[in-house]
């Protein structure tokens, strides 16, 4: 089977996998083994305030650290786990890891305001999830107002009453709700008025075209990002740009009024130990100076 190197040097399964039941079964088995042996990890990617370049939050991104295959990225795993129903168990496991990571980071940085953004698939948004979140954050002594619940437009597509209830309950306990991959779904703008959204995350495809070679595309995507930002602000949502890879993109985004950025230009998703080491180094440097 072909594997190609992916972002972060991780291995991506071949796209043909969708038709290959043997490879599919292999992933299902990886998932079960990973749950049994505790191979799931929560990598953290910083989210930066463009106004002052400070880290204001971290997005938890799931990785399966396979002892033989290396680091497996979430895309295939999540798609298959949604079909088999394993997504709930994976999600809870990764969420617990992410909370423990946040506690460790808070201790290292001394900053107890940074938030933790967690991705939830539609199937995870069961009625019991807000209660579980309350229990787990209390156990880790984390203020639930530090949790950002990331959902995609697909979650809101059918205006499922149960999902609406779950989102309202998250809002009530103080979590913020972020609409992920914004602009790629069916009726993005209407979701802003119909659901309690606090943060709009502009999809990285828009950010990529900001510096496109083709002038027309470049111009239009700039107008779109500026327009989405203005509308989001009018709806009292803050705006984060995903997939910021260059200084040019970063500066353009700031000029368009975008509040925050996330992407390789600032930092890659990484194990929390690495972020803690960076804080320790920074502290030593400043205390020496």
The footprint of Mg ion (CB under 5 A) covers 119, 150, 180-181, 242
Query: 70-72 and 11-13 as β-strands: parallel, antiparallel, unpaired?
Result: unpaired
User: Which residue, 108 or 156, has its beta carbon nearer to Mg ion?
Assistant: 156
Whole-number minimum distance, CB 62 to Mg ion, in Å? 10
Q: Which residues contact 98 (CB under 8 A, 6 or more apart)?
A: 42, 44, 60, 116, 118
Residue 129 touches which member of ligand C2E, Mg ion, none, C-beta under 5-8 Å by kind: none
Kindly state the DSSP code that residue 211 receives in the 8-state scheme.
Answer: T
- Of 125, 118, 128, the closest CA to residue 178 belongs to 118
User: What tokens does 101 get?
Assistant: 């990571």
Mind giving me the DSSP string for 240-288? EES---SHHHHHHHHHTT--EE-STTT---B-HHHHHHHHHHHHHHHHH
Residue 221 touches which member of Mg ion, ligand C2E, none, C-beta under 5-8 Å by kind: none
Distances (CA, A) of 77 to 25, 63, 243: 11, 9, 21
Whole-number minimum distance, CB 33 to Mg ion, in Å? 26
Residue 243 touches which member of Mg ion, ligand C2E, none, C-beta under 5-8 Å by kind: ligand C2E
- Of 73, 65, 79, 70, the closest CA to residue 28 belongs to 79
CB closest to ligand C2E, residue no: 263
Residue 264 touches which member of Mg ion, ligand C2E, none, C-beta under 5-8 Å by kind: ligand C2E
User: Which residue, 186 or 280, has its beta carbon nearer to ligand C2E?
Assistant: 186
User: What tokens does 273 get?
Assistant: 């130990």
Distance CA 261, CA 50 (A): 6
User: Which residue, 130 or 263, has its beta carbon nearer to Mg ion?
Assistant: 263
Whole-number minimum distance, CB 278 to ligand C2E, in Å? 17
Whole-number minimum distance, CB 178 to ligand C2E, in Å? 9
Distance CA 197, CA 178 (A): 6
Whole-number minimum distance, CB 73 to ligand C2E, in Å? 4
Distance CA 259, CA 174 (A): 21
User: Which residue, 64 or 108, has its beta carbon nearer to ligand C2E?
Assistant: 64
User: Which residue, 108 or 163, has its beta carbon nearer to Mg ion?
Assistant: 163
Site for ligand C2E, rule CB under 6 A: 7, 45, 61-62, 73-75, 78, 91, 94, 119-121, 150, 180-181, 204, 242-245, 262-264, 269
User: Which residue, 137 or 155, has its beta carbon nearer to Mg ion?
Assistant: 155
Whole-number minimum distance, CB 172 to ligand C2E, in Å? 22
């Amino acid at each position: 089977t072909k594997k190609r190197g992916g972002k972060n040097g991780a291995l991506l399964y071949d796209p043909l996998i969708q038709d290959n039941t043997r490879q599919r079964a292999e992933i299902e088995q990886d998932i079960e083994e990973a749950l049994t042996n505790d191979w799931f990890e929560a990598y953290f990617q910083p989210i930066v305030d463009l106004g002052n370049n400070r880290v204001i939050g971290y997005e938890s991104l799931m990785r399966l650290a396979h002892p033989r295959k290396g680091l497996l990225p979430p895309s295939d795993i999540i798609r298959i786990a949604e079909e088999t129903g394993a997504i709930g168990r994976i999600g809870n496991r990764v969420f617990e890891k992410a909370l423990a990571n946040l506690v460790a980071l808070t201790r290292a940085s001394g900053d107890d305001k940074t938030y933790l953004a967690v991705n939830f698939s539609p199937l995870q948004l069961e009625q019991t999830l807000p209660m579980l979140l309350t229990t787990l954050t209390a156990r880790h002594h984390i203020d639930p107002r530090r949790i950002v619940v990331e959902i995609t437009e697909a979650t809101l597509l059918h205006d499922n009453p149960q999902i609406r209830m779950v989102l309202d309950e998250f809002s009530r306990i103080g979590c913020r709700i972020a609409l992920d991959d914004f602009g790629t779904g069916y009726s993005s703008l209407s979701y802003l008025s119909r659901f309690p959204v606090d943060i709009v995350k502009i999809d990285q495809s828009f950010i990529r075209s900001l510096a496109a070679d083709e002038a027309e595309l470049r111009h239009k995507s700039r107008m779109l990002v500026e327009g989405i930002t203005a509308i989001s602000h009018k709806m009292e949502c803050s705006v984060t740009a995903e997939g910021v890879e260059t200084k040019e993109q970063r500066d353009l985004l700031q000029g368009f009024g975008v509040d925050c950025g996330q992407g390789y230009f600032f930092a890659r998703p990484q194990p929390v130990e690495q972020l803690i080491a960076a804080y320790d180094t920074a502290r030593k440097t400043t205390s020496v100076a």
